[in-house]
Chains A and B, each alone.
Chain A
């Protein structure tokens, strides 16, 4: 039997270039967006009867994380089509954002560096046991059962000596970078799409093995592919350690006694006593989790036309798709490197960055998937073929189109729109940029049914508040906690479905209360790590009355919207006849060199107008109008 390689070199090279897994350390500068080619865009907003300001506000409400003061006017000035083209093309990044990202130690590390610097607790303890300096302490701790308390300072000391950092820092960095990017990036469309796609291909930090690699998953598998072809993103997620661990495919192997790619090409089916084959150590068979979710959640959708048998067959097609050894231990790596260096003796193995295809674990029996035959003796190309089929299936086009429309148009998008986007998907081979363009050029996007129809997710609410207030973030932790409290703990959605994209999922009695509390407390300055200057939002002028303040700030925070009702309903509550007198008092006090006008959480009695101003802002942030985008 001839030994054949199971993957053409060209495909391998392209795959390597596209996925970027396992690249060396990069600074955030390397992640600057390269301008993309974009055709001229023609958005039919005028036909919907919208004013240019209303149309601009709608565009910003959907394709950014919220308008900042002056954004609506800027978009009107440059022209809506031009703005959209610019966002699609990609802009040079905000230097402040780059600076903040550089300050987060883990965001530009490779998977291998992360595994080396942020080892798991279990690994650290194992290493400590082997270290003669700690043997006595460990034995004592073990025998007395006082493991937890006695151990902690020892572990901390050991970690310091080896420059190991706790895994919790990885998760903090991950969440911080998401918040910083969403608030500060000039490429708002890309940030919104990242939020969408990371949710679509959900992986969670609650899964211990996937946790260290969630950050690189978003950075390397999702972000580079958002304006390209769906098939490319699908591939990148299928091969990334985070997904391989999260949906257990990394442990899915051919059942015992089954012919594998290796044994097929050697011409026999060996028996597998557990110890004789070191590759099989610890693994005993098929795991269907990834195969099911690949079809149900990533591509076809639950009604997409697959059966339980297909799930099992697809699982078999992906056996052997696993992770190249990443941990600090070298023994496993040496072993696999030896195998990889001898393709004649070990045919069919493939390594691409942190992805590893173990031909000795791949089920090489013939298969029937979605009505197509897969001959015996297959290798890595079987999984590739499945991804091809799924990416080109009409159900996938419909499913992806519906999800995109649900995010950017309306909770229940019209059948017409979904069909139209589906057709674009099929015609362009899954060109994600083309689908976005088709969406904004559709009349449905600008229809009355779409305007202000979407309810902001907790993350969108927090970020849009920060952007509306031009707030500075000294410490992102407080904001991140609020997002979690409102029901969307970041990167921690346990089930692979991701967070649902419907108002009814976010709005319930508890979450509404949290949203109001959030708005009020942010505005008053009771959230640590964030501050803003209410007066500077209005160009440095303190409004002459609370009624004037209401009018001015309603328009600042809800630009391009009709705020007459909101103002009417809030007027009785904010009416304060002594306001003007207190402004004068505060101004006098300042001239006399008394305490400065406060900001942040502290305020002094003389400068009450500022507090009233903040309270008005709080009411606006907690208002129903501000919950909509």
Chain B
């Protein structure tokens, strides 16, 4: 890429915003449309990656209820199909797998073919350390330490549309590992706070923004310099967005909490057409070592939050849903048997959800073996039979129209999972 990002902003249509010419969001949207019209590939599409931190128990999320061994391995945590079944409540998906009732919002999307589930998915590296496994999944190089960049950052480097400050956005207070790298990415926990916010009318304070911008432009500390500049660019764009009094479309109601908040803001950015292509959000609290609960309890609450946030987001998007695909991921799964505290310990494979109009939904892909000791990894865990990279490359590659899988996942030569409509 010959033109640097900042050079583009200074010379291109969006630079007019920084001069204070035409402050309306409509102007902004028009400017964005003008630039995209010049570029191959047409309209921008958005990939939303949701990381479930803590290792979601895939076996409870999507349970092979027809396996007789399930209940003996999980006397307290095992569930069966139907709302009145003892310990029950699983929603039958295909006669073999049942969806945990907390995820009930997903059921209609599964039936309509928009939601796909991949089971038995995980990392070829057997680590059961949260820290390492998340690192491997986010850098996209399992088993290799010290990879500087994240897979989403490398993917964003392959996008062909003209870059804006909002190309890659994580709605988190820390920039996630997936977005580390040389391509610019924003970490914004809350769009509403994204401005210099001091009440004083003193002239020095009023122009503090541009004064500080100069300082960060000139500082020799590399990190402060780079991130500072991105911040100021983004600030100017955000100041033009109609954020207050946002009413989600189609009566969508986001659940209270960080994930609902993040997805609502991603919806706003998508609608404002500011050049968003890769969005990242997090759902935490999945590390259920103690008192996991079955139909009710910690797991059920997290499941409900996740599903309600995603379905509200999907509704809110309205027609824009055609351009957006969502994929969940988690660092590993959990033990098949329950532990001594009514929970589960770290395991290997888990499952993930993919939602989009370009998804071949309505199916549970991947493999879950019979739940007997001989079939399990180390005699305790669901084995990984689908490498997460085959799914990530399929979803990101197909949806965003990029095809250099070896660049996104160095060292990966496998095939894409067949989960998308090609």
* Residue positions of A touching B, CB distance < 8 A: 248, 251-253, 255, 283-289, 292, 296, 302-303, 308, 452, 455, 485, 487, 494-495, 497, 503-505, 507-514, 516-517, 520-521, 524, 526, 565-566, 569-570, 573-574, 576, 608, 611-612, 615-616, 618-619, 622-625, 627-628
Contact = CB atoms under 8 A, between A and B. Distances in A.
A510 B205 contact: no
17 contacts: A283-B340, A287-B345, A288-B345, A288-B346, A296-B131, A494-B284, A495-B287, A508-B186, A508-B187, A509-B230, A509-B234, A516-B196, A517-B196, A520-B196, A573-B207, A574-B204, A611-B200
Contacts of A573: 204, 207, 210-211, 214
B130 A495 contact: yes
A296 B346 CA distance: 14
B6 to A, nearest CB: 14
Given A296-B129, A627-B224, A618 B205 contact: yes
A56 B194 CA distance: 37
Given A308-B126, A455-B221, A615-B205, 14 more contacts: A248-B289, A255-B340, A283-B341, A288-B346, A504-B223, A509-B187, A509-B188, A524-B205, A565-B218, A566-B215, A569-B215, A573-B214, A619-B211, A625-B215
Contacts of A302: 127, 129, 131-132
B300 interface: no
Q: Which of B207, B289, B345 has the most CB of A within 10 A?
A: B345
B240 interface: no
B72 interface: no
Contacts of A611: 200, 202
B231 interface: yes
Interface in B207-243: 207-208, 210-212, 214-216, 218-219, 221, 223-225, 227-228, 230-231, 234-235
A251 B341 contact: yes
Contacts of B221: 452, 455, 624, 627-628
B200 A615 contact: yes
A284 B74 CA distance: 13
A504 to B, nearest CB: 6
Interface stretch (B63-71, B102-110, B172-180, B306-314): B172-180
Question: Residue among A289, A505, A513, A616 with the most chain B CB within 10 A?
Answer: A513
Interface residues of B, number: 63
Interface in B83-140: 126-132
Given A296-B129, A569-B215, A251 B340 contact: yes
A483 to B, nearest CB: 12
Contacts of A521: 197-198
Contacts of B145: 303
B419 to A, nearest CB: 30
A65 B284 CA distance: 32
B219 A252 contact: no
B279 to A, nearest CB: 14
B198 A524 contact: yes
A197 B131 CA distance: 19
B26 interface: no
Given A508-B187, A573-B207, A628-B221, A284 B173 contact: no
B210 to A, nearest CB: 8
Contact of A516 (B131, B174, B212, B219): B212
Given A302-B131, A508-B186, A513-B235, A284 B340 contact: yes
B212 A526 contact: no
A520 B205 contact: yes
Given A248-B341, A285-B339, A624-B216, A616 B228 contact: no
Contacts of B234: 509
A513 B284 contact: no
A624 B345 contact: no
Residue with the highest number of chain B CB atoms closer than 10 Å, among A286, A288, A303, A615 = A615
Given A286-B339, A510-B194, A524-B198, A487 B174 contact: yes
Contacts of A623: 212, 215
Contacts of A296: 129, 131
A62 to B, nearest CB: 17
Majority DSSP secondary structure for residues of B touching A: loop
Contact of B202 (A497, A615, A622, A627): A615
B322 interface: no
Contacts of A505: 174
B144 interface: no
Contacts of A569: 214-215, 218
Interface of B: 53-54, 126-132, 145, 173-175, 180, 186-190, 193-200, 202-205, 207-208, 210-212, 214-216, 218-219, 221, 223-225, 227-228, 230-231, 234-235, 284, 287, 289-290, 339-343, 345-346, 378
Contacts of B188: 509-510
A508 B198 contact: no
A624 B220 CA distance: 9
B161 to A, nearest CB: 20
Given A296-B131, A495-B130, A455 B211 contact: no
Contacts of A574: 204
B289 A289 contact: yes
- Of B204, B228, B235, most buried by chain A (CB within 10 Å of CB) is B204
A622 B208 contact: yes
B376 to A, nearest CB: 14
Contact of A615 (B127, B204, B228, B341): B204
A516 B193 CA distance: 12
A252 B345 CA distance: 12
B204 A612 contact: yes
B202 A287 contact: no
Contacts of B287: 495
Contacts of B128: 292, 308
Contacts of B197: 517, 521
Given A287-B341, A570-B215, A509 B186 contact: yes
Given A616-B204, A618-B208, A624-B216, A526 B227 contact: no
A517 B198 CA distance: 7
Nearest to B200: A524
Contacts of A616: 204
A512 B227 contact: yes
A97 to B, nearest CB: 30
A63 to B, nearest CB: 21
A251 B345 CA distance: 14
- Name the residue in B227, B231, B340 with the highest tally of chain A Cβ atoms < 10 Å from its Cβ: B340
A565 B214 CA distance: 11
Given A526-B199, A615-B200, A624-B215, A512 B340 contact: no
A510 B189 contact: yes
Nearest to B187: A508
A621 to B, nearest CB: 10
Contact of B227 (A507, A566, A625): A507
A487 B378 CA distance: 38
Contact of A507 (B126, B132, B223, B290): B223
A595 B292 CA distance: 63
Given A287-B345, A510-B173, A619 B231 contact: no
A248 B288 CA distance: 11
B289 A512 contact: no
Nearest to B176: A508
User: Which of B207, B212, B235, B290 neighbours the largest number of chain A CB atoms within 10 Å of its CB?
Assistant: B212
A514 B289 contact: no
A511 B53 CA distance: 21
A199 to B, nearest CB: 14
Contact of A512 (B205, B224, B378): B224
Contacts of A287: 289-290, 339-341, 343, 345
Contact of A251 (B227, B235, B290): B290
A302 B125 CA distance: 14
Nearest to A622: B212
Given A284-B341, A288-B345, A508 B227 contact: yes
Nearest to B214: A569
A455 B292 CA distance: 39
Contacts of A495: 53-54, 130-131, 287
